Structure 1
Amino acid sequence: MKPKTKKYLFRSITLIIVTVVGYVLFYRWDIAKNRGYKFGYYGVFNRIAHSLESIPDVSSVTTTSMNVDISLEEFGLDVILKDERTIKLFFQERDPIRSLSGQKLRTALEGLLKTQEINSNSEQKDSPPTNNK
C-alpha cells in the first residue's frame, strides 16, 4: 500500500471513530437532563409544554408521566387552567399532534383542551352526587 493511501485510510478510520464516539457522548448528554430545547430527546415534549404554557387560559403545566426509552415514547401533562380546573393530557408515540409546531400546534392544543374540558364537564354531570355528612 502506498504511503498516501495509508494516510487517507488512517484519516478516514479516525474520522469514523470520532464521529461515532461524538454521537454517543452527545446522546448521553442529551438524554441525561431536559434542558428545555425544542430539539433533541425532549424536543417534542418541550414544544408541546411551551405551547400549552403560551395559551392565555392556562395557569401552569406539570409533568405527570414520561416513558423514557431510546426515544421519548409517551408522556402525560396536567394542565391547570386559570379558573383552577385541571385537565389531564396524555400523548402517545404516534399521536399526530406531536409532529406539529408553531401556530398549528397551539391551535390543535387549544382544541384538545376544549374537547377535554367538555368531556370532564359531562363526566361530572353523569357521576352520582356524593353525600358528605
Structure 2
Amino acid sequence: MSKEQALSETLPLIEFAEHAIGGDWEKIDLGAQGCALPSGKTGTMQAAGRLGPGVPAADQSALLDRVAEEWGRHGHRPVRTVLPVIRGVQVTRLHYSNVGRDHDEIYLELMVATTGSTVDSRTRCAVDEARYGTGEE
C-alpha cells in the first residue's frame, strides 16, 4: 500500500466528520510517523488531526450516530465512550480501532463537546517509499 492509498482511505472519513459538524476547522496534521511492516521493514503512517467547533449537547447523539454509520459503511465500526466530566465539560469519544494503531489497521477518533471537537486519524502502515521505492509490501 502506498502513502497515497493509505491517505485516500482515512481522509474522506475524517472530512465526513468535519462536514457533519460544520464550521471552521484547524488542521494539525503531524505528517509521517514510523511503523513496522509485517516484513520487518520500516514503513510510515500519516497522522492527521483537526480542531473544530463545539456541538450543542442536544445534537451530539444524532451527529455521532451519523459519523458512526458512515465509518461503519467503510468497514470501520467505532465504539462510543462517554468520558468523565472535567471542569464541567462532558466529552463523548467515537473511535476505531479497538486494538490500537497496528500496521494493518487505521485509527479514527472523533471527540465532541459543547466547547469544541477534535478529529484524529492514522493511516495504515505504508511502504516507506523514500527508503524502499514504490513496491507493495
TM-score (norm 2): 0.30
Which structure would you say has the larger RCO, counting Cα contacts within 8 Å and 6 or more residues apart?
Answer: 2
Q: Which has the higher helix share?
A: 1
Between Structure 1 and Structure 2, the one with more strand by share is: 2
